[in-house]
Amino acid sequence: MIRVSVIYPNNPGSTFDMDYYLTKHMPMVGARLKPALKAMTVDNGISGALPGSGAPYRVITTLSFESVETFQAAFIPYAAEIQGDIPNFTNIAPTVQISEVKI
């Protein structure tokens, strides 16, 4: 199992429309990547480790797939559409990491 993490840093002056993300973008992503997509989470950052500190990341989204190849086969045909929708909800350039799930 692999996990694709899409990480949006909490940069000063950044904007993020969570309503659009949850009601438009993520349903579109889910529809395009099925049936390869096994699970999806969206975490909204609320705090850092120390009391009163800001969250280092605005949003962290994870997408689970059986393998890197399965992810790529599902994502590549829709990459332009999915990535092209980003300006509709944020001015943050996300970082993407693919990880092998161990536990």
Give the residue-averaged pLDDT of 49-76: 97
Average pLDDT score over residue span 74-99 = 98
Q: Check residue 65 and give its pLDDT.
A: 98
Mean pLDDT, residues 39-65: 97
As a whole number of angstroms, the distance between CA 2 and CA 17 comes to: 27
Residue 56 burial (CB count, 10 A): 14
Q: What is d(CA 3, CA 84) in angstroms, rounded to the nearest whole number?
A: 22
Q: Which domains does the chain have, with CATH numbers?
A: 2-100 (3.30.70.100)
Share of the chain above pLDDT 70, in %: 100
| Arithmetic mean of pLDDT, 2-28 | 98
Report residue 60 CA to chain centroid gap: 6
According to DSSP, residue 29 is labeled H
Average pLDDT over residues 57-83: 98
> What integer pLDDT is reported at residue 81 of this predicted model?
98
